[in-house]
Amino acid sequence: MLQILELVRERFGASVPHAPSPQGFAPRLPHEDSDEAPADFAAMRELAGDSVNGLTIIIAYRDAKGAASLRQVSCIRIETGQGKRYLRAFCHHRRAQRVFLMTRIDAVHDAETGEELAGGTDYFAPFADDRISASPLGWGLSPVQRADLGAGLTALIFLSRCDGHVDAAENDEIDTFTASWWIRAEIHAPFPEADISAHIRRMAPDVEAFERAAVSDIETGRYHWAAETWSLAAIDDLDPLIAALAPGVERRHLVARLKLSGMLTLAERVALRDRLEGELAHEVRWLDLNLADLFARPTDADLAEIDANGVLRAAAETLKAAAADGGAEGRVAAAALERLYVEQKRAERQDAR
């Protein structure tokens, strides 16, 4: 693996041209280069202008830790961030790009003769910035200053908007705050009154802008909740109610709670449970079924389905009579009779196989 890496390094390293250097030139480099790039270099936009791109020079540099270096670089561009100018260049000794703060470039030397040309700030002054920070609250402020001023403006604009519009007196108060903040913070950059006013207008548009705004509902939930109470007089009432449940909603997105009431035959009540628990419950996302008020009225045909004449028929008759008495025991008897009916039908199906 190391051999492969060496081959790759030699292959691509050879593609970087070696710039001329003065006779006897010996670079001086710190053990490790510090990162000089500002935090807001991620938000940059291109500008037109004369560029330093392609210029090869020798710079004497002091990094943020005070370490001095003398190195040969090929300039790529000048970048501006947080109100400071930086040189982005290819360092021929590190064989990689580096960013240098202009004010820390002590001297610039001719790459061929070694002659000192000027200090870094003076040498690069005629060149245009290739990139400049596009931060909405630049104005030559540090990140802490931007946050402080931005928080104050946000609070004042929020208060002024409480009645639906910003009047002249409120605008004057905001302007006074901004100007006084600039003085108290001892900002040496020129006061960007026009830029700050434009920023305030963007944060506090006229009330007509809100009146013209179109507001529409946007669905953000995946599931639709439905709770319904159904009253049934016969099993034939069930299918229309199911068909009308939450129209326009996909069943797989439906969470439903159904409460049923009425009086059905024992056979109908069992068929209804099969329809709801065996089919509908698998179509919807979740089904909560309440059948406490849906009563069974066993008929002679229902009892005959259990047993025409025998022990089970006698038990069914006893449960039917107990269920008719009502009360807690009646509900237990009705449930037992329904269970007897279901189990008998299940046994018949198994025998038929």
Longest dimension (CA), the chain: 123
Are the C-beta atoms of 124 and 107 separated by less than 8 Å?
no
Helix (H) or strand (E) holding 325: none
**Comparing 11-20, 144-153, 163-172, 226-235, which segment has the lowest mean pLDDT?**
11-20
Q: How confident is the model at residue 287 (pLDDT cuts 50, 70, 90)?
A: very high
How far apart are the C-alpha atoms of 228 and 222, rounded to whole Å? Answer: 20
Q: What is the mean pLDDT of the chain?
A: 77
Domain boundaries, given as residue ranges, for the chain: 2-133, 143-212, 224-352
How far apart are the C-alpha atoms of 316 and 296, rounded to whole Å? Answer: 13
pLDDT tops 90 at residue 340: no
How far apart are the C-alpha atoms of 178 and 306, rounded to whole Å? Answer: 90
Question: What is the tens place of the pLDDT at every residue in 169-211?
Answer: 777 788 888 888 888 877 777 777 777 777 777 766 555 555 5
pLDDT value, residue 36 = 59
How far apart are the C-alpha atoms of 132 and 78, rounded to whole Å? Answer: 9
How far apart are the C-alpha atoms of 81 and 41, rounded to whole Å? Answer: 7
Question: What is the tens place of the pLDDT at every residue in 49-102?
Answer: 456 777 889 999 998 888 899 999 988 888 887 778 888 888 988 888 888 998
Q: How confident is the model at residue 267 (pLDDT cuts 50, 70, 90)?
A: confident
Are the C-beta atoms of 58 and 114 separated by less than 8 Å?
yes
State whether the Cα torsion 146-147-149-153 is positive or negative: positive
How far apart are the C-alpha atoms of 132 and 1, rounded to whole Å? Answer: 41
State whether the Cα torsion 316-322-324-329 is positive or negative: negative
pLDDT value, residue 35 = 57
Looking at residue 140, its amino acid is G
Mean pLDDT value across residues 135-147 = 67
Strands 286-296 and 254-264: parallel
pLDDT value, residue 164 = 65
Number of H helices and number of E strands within the chain?
Answer: 12, 11
Q: Among residues of the chain, what percentage have pLDDT more than 70?
A: 76
Strands 96-101 and 84-91: antiparallel
Are the C-beta atoms of 164 and 172 separated by less than 8 Å?
no
How far apart are the C-alpha atoms of 28 and 34, rounded to whole Å? Answer: 15
Q: Which two tokens stand for residue 178?
A: 């901004």
Number of other residues whose CB lies within 10 A of the CB of residue 22? 15
**With b meaning 16 or more CB within 10 Å and e meaning fewer, what string describes 145-183?**
bbeebeeebeebbeebbeeeebeeebeeebeeebeeebe
Q: Which two tokens stand for residue 141?
A: 């402020």
Question: What is the tens place of the pLDDT at every residue in 5-52?
Answer: 344 344 434 344 455 566 666 777 776 666 555 544 433 333 334 567
Q: How confident is the model at residue 330 (pLDDT cuts 50, 70, 90)?
A: confident
pLDDT tops 50 at residue 133: no
Sequence-separated contacts (24+) of 309-318 with Cβ below 8 Å: 312/340, 312/344, 315/340, 316/340, 316/341
Of the two residues 29 and 330, the one the predictor is more confident about is 330
**Pick from 54, 44, 77, 61: which is nearest to 109 by CA?**
61
Are the C-beta atoms of 118 and 105 separated by less than 8 Å?
no
Mean pLDDT value across residues 327-333 = 83
Give me the residues paired with residue 138 across strands.
none
* Residue found by looking up tokens 């900002």 in the block: 187
